[in-house]
Structure 1
Amino acid sequence: MNATLGVLRHRNFRFLAIGAGVNSLGNAITPVALAFAVLDLGGSPTELGLVVASFALAEVVTTLFGGVLGDRVPRHLMMQGSSAGAAVTQTVIAASLIGGWSSIPLLAAIGALNGVMGALSGPSSSALTPQTVPAEDLSSAVALRRLLQNGAQVLGFSVAGLLVAGFGPGWAIGIDAATFAIAGLSYHLIDVPAVTGGGERQRMLAEMREGAVEVFRHTWLWLLIGQALLYHLFYGGAQGVLGPIVVKKAIGEAAWGWALAALMAGFMLGGLLNLRWRPKHGLRIGTACLALTACFPLAMAVSDQLWVILLGAALHGLGLEIFDQNWEISIVQNVPPDKLARVFSFDVVGSFVARPLGLALTGPIATAVGYDTWLIVVAAVMGGSSLLALSSRDVRRLVRTS
């Protein structure tokens, strides 16, 4: 543990961790607040899905450009600009809800702008960590950064339902606007050189192709991106649309915030395990643990008891965090530094490209077949696709170097 905390001696990593943690705090509050804002405005499950899908679609469309830019310009500058823009857009959403002049189309439109902001900085955020610490500290840095982010999200989800119930969704989203401003300041204080490759810059589409070639050079990489596509196609609507409705109806409004807090508590437990546990075949272990994500939608489908839902959410977070940590390390250790942002952008796009479709269709499909039935289908797809990915020799045999 002392060795892991020792990475905080690196100034640039400290500011990266602060910015990422503060951002995670605010971003944990907004999904809860936004869901209930749409419902308070009279929105249906389908309209809630469309609002969330507007963010996801804009993010997917823009992410590849964010990856190219993240390999062209200083990554901390990309993150700083994105945070400043998101602070403004979140302030507008908060003001509209507090002032009583908001509408579902307005939330969808500004949500799309927020998706663009997140997409421009997302690949840079993932690729920046290796620039802030020496190679021998990379595993500790990734583990600690993720642990701090997850801890902040636990806090955010824990208070989100209470903030919405006590003060309304507008004030809750206003907190997210403030966290973006603080994160932007932290990213401004990072001072690292830009990463450059050996060749001359090409046109943007040509550089995107380079990123795609790098992805398809690794079987384990494109295979698990495909698995993530299925995961988000089915799970996005289960959490973003059905979760708030099912849990609110069965237990109460604040319970959904607690369920998301349990999800993040599972992430934290996984992060604590990752601080010490560095298996030689980390991707194999992580992919096996990914099957635990089926527990959350399954729990919502079969039980109206809070403790069952909290347990399912915690197991989901535990399995996903063990996978995510080993996934990120696998990419960083096997992809050239000057292509990292582009590869991370293809990871995001490939993983989330079908999520808007899933969000948009979850409402009508679940209404037609029944909420519980659809949640069971979601759980089967998530667990089954994770185990199926283990049939690949490349996934099972990839070796982690630290």
Structure 2
Amino acid sequence: MSSRLSPLATPAFRYFFIGQVVNRAGSSMAGVALAFAVLDIDDSASALGWVVAASSVPTVVFMLLGGAIADRLPRAIVLRGCNLVQGITQALTAGLVISGQAEIWHLVVLQAVAGTVFAVSYPAFLGMVPILLPAEERQAAFLLIGQATSALGIIGPALSGVLVATVGPGWALAVDAVTYLVAAVLLLLVRLPPGDRSSAKPSVIGDFTAGWAYARQLGWVIPAASAALVFNALVSGAINVLGPVIADDTIGSEGWGLARSAQAVGVFVAAFFLAKVVVTAPMKVIMVAFVVWCVPMLVLGTHVEVWLLSAAFVVAGAALSLLDLSWNLLVQEKVPEAMLSRIMAIDGFFSFVATPIGQVAVGPLAVAFGAGSVQLGCFALALLVGAVALTRRTITGVRLTGAPPPQLTEQV
């Protein structure tokens, strides 16, 4: 038990960890609340797709530059500023929804701001653990972050569903706004050691170009991220957009919130077993886990009941926990610290670039073919992509050996 909690003995990681737990607690409520806030204004999958896509588009557009910024500046300061802006943005959203003044275009604009900020905060967050902790503590830290935030996420979506059904979605969004601001305050206490930035280029664009060259040099980053592109598009469209629409006609907001919280149960439980797991073929594990992550589509496309959908999300959560651990361990071993955020941003760019397409496309596809058929079609596509990815040597040949990260050469 002590070994799993040992990363908390480091003060900088402890404050960072607490801030992220608080932040994720609010975010676990926001997804359900925003979905039903949109449906209260315009009861259609297309309207919800546009609002969700409004966040995804700027995330994709600015992700690559965001990674260069996060590698160039102190990451704690970057995260602090991002949390502050996101807190203000979510507070405005909550105010509009609670007052009854919210319109779809309001939510589109505010989500676009949030997506732009996320493009910087995402790679900054993913580059924090390696500079806060030594290598032997990092697996425990990754699992601790996932387990603690998922524990709160178990009740977050369910509580959000209850708030939506009683006092309305705006109050859940208001809680999320407060958690962003609390996380920003906690990051004031994080003191980071100076990283090696001797290879930094004169401009952010130069840093981005160097990051792209290094990703190509590694060989496995772009093929893996290209596969993730399809999986993220499928999940964001079929589950995040079409899922609430199907739930609204079957199990309601409370049932949907309970089912989504089950994914956090899967993450939480899986962490106990993964603490002792040694991953040697990370890309193989990641591709299989991606397919398992899509299992809830089978339930949404056939027979929707709360218990069955919840079980599917538990399995998906366990797969997601294994996926995240494998990816983080792979990047920590193969990528120098000074390049971490850029590699994470390149992966994020490819992973999310098709997400808006999935979010916007499911509405018209559901009208044309039926929501259930779209869910089953998306799962079939997930199976196909996973099978093809596992035939690629650049993916199946990647191995973890426990070696320290390579040094960044001046030529990169």
Offset at residue 264 of structure 1 (A): 1.7
| 8 Å contact from structure 1 (residues 294, 383) kept in 2 | no
Helix, strand or coil for the counterpart of 1:192? coil
Match of 1:296 in 2: 296
Question: Matched residues in 2 for 1:9 and 1:155: separation?
Answer: 27
How far has the Cα of 1:46 moved from its partner?
0.5
The match for 1:44 is: 44
- Please show how residues 80-95 of structure 1 align to structure 2 within 5 Å: 80-95=80-95
> Residue in 1 aligned with 2:320?
320
Q: What letter corresponds to residue 30 of structure 2 in structure 1?
A: T
Q: Deviations over 1:226-263 (max 9, x none)?
A: 11101122221112211011122112221110111012
Separation in 2 of the partners of 1:334 and 1:360?
36
Find the aligned partners of 2:21 and 2:383 in 1 and give their Cα distance: 29
Tell me the distance in 2 between the aligned counterparts of 1:263 and 1:254.
15
CA distance in 1, matches of 2:286, 2:350: 19
AA at the equivalent of 1:178? V
Report deviation, 1:285. 2.7
CA distance in 1, matches of 2:152, 2:127: 21
Identity of aligned pairs, percent? 28
Q: Deviations over 1:120-163 (max 9, x none)?
A: 21101000111111122122112212222222222211211011
For the 8 Å contact 1:294–1:380, the answer to whether it is kept is: no
Note if 1:240 corresponds to 2:240.
Answer: yes
Structure 2 vs 1, CA of residues 341 and 171 (structure 1 numbering), >3 Å: closer, same or farther?
A: same
- Distance in 1 (CA, whole Å) between partners of 2:275 and 2:133 is 16
Range with bigger deviation, 107-116 or 262-271:
262-271
**Preserved CA contact (<8 Å) 2:32 2:257:** yes
**Which residue in 2 is equivalent to 1:257?**
257
Q: Which has the higher helix share?
A: 1
Aligned to 2:383: 383
Q: CA RMSD in A?
A: 1.5
1:118 aligns to what? 118
* Counterpart-to-counterpart distance in 2, 1:14 and 1:195: 19
Preserved contact between residue 48 and residue 241 of structure 2 (Cα < 8 Å)? yes
Mapped to 2, the partners of 1:377 and 1:235 lie a distance apart of 12
> Which residue number in structure 2 is paired with residue 166 of structure 1?
166
Contact 1:292-1:383 within 8 A present in 2 as well: no
Equivalent residue letter for 1:180? Y
SS in 1 for 2:244: helix
Partner of 2:34: 34
Q: CA deviation at 1:200?
A: 4.5
CA distance in 2, matches of 1:252, 1:47: 18
The superposition leaves residues 274-328 of structure 1 with CA deviations (integer Å, 9 ceiling, x where unpaired) of 2121233233233323321231111111112222211111111211221111011
With 259-268 and 77-86 compared, the bigger mean Cα shift is at 259-268
Unaligned runs of 5+ in 2: 403-412
Question: 1:207 Cα shift?
Answer: 1.5
Native 8 Å contact 1:290 1:323 kept in 2: yes
How many Å apart are 1:392 and its aligned residue? 2.5
CA offsets per residue over residues 343-369 of structure 1, 9 Å max, x none? 111111110011011111110112111
Q: Which letter maps to 2:355?
A: R
2:271 aligns with 271
Instruction: For residue 22 of structure 1, report the CA deviation from its aligned partner.
Output: 1.1
Tell which deviates more after alignment, 34-43 or 72-81: 34-43
Cα drift, residue 10 of structure 1: 0.5
> What aligned pairs does 1:93-112 form with structure 2 within 5 A after superposition?
93-112=93-112
Deviation at 1:43, TM superposition (A): 4.0
Poorly superposed stretches of 4+, deviation over 3 Å: none
**2:205 partner letter:** L
**TM alignment of 1:121-140, pairs within 5 A:** 121-140=121-140
1:362 aligned partner = 362
The answer to whether the 8 Å contact 1:283/1:395 transfers is: yes
Distance in structure 1 (CA, Å) of the matches to 2:49 and 2:200: 43
Q: TM-score, normalised by structure 1?
A: 0.96
Distance in 1 (alpha carbons) for counterparts of 2:150 and 2:19: 13
d(CA) in 2 for partners of 1:271, 1:381: 28
Q: Is the 8 A contact 2:223 2:394 kept in 1?
A: no
Contact map agreement 1:291 1:383 (CA 8 A) in 2:
yes
> For residue 2 of structure 2, what is the aligned residue in structure 1?
2
Residues 1:199 and 1:365: Cα distance change in structure 2 (over 3 Å): same
Preserved CA contact (<8 Å) 2:150 2:267: yes
Residue 301 of structure 2 aligns to a residue in which SS? Answer: helix
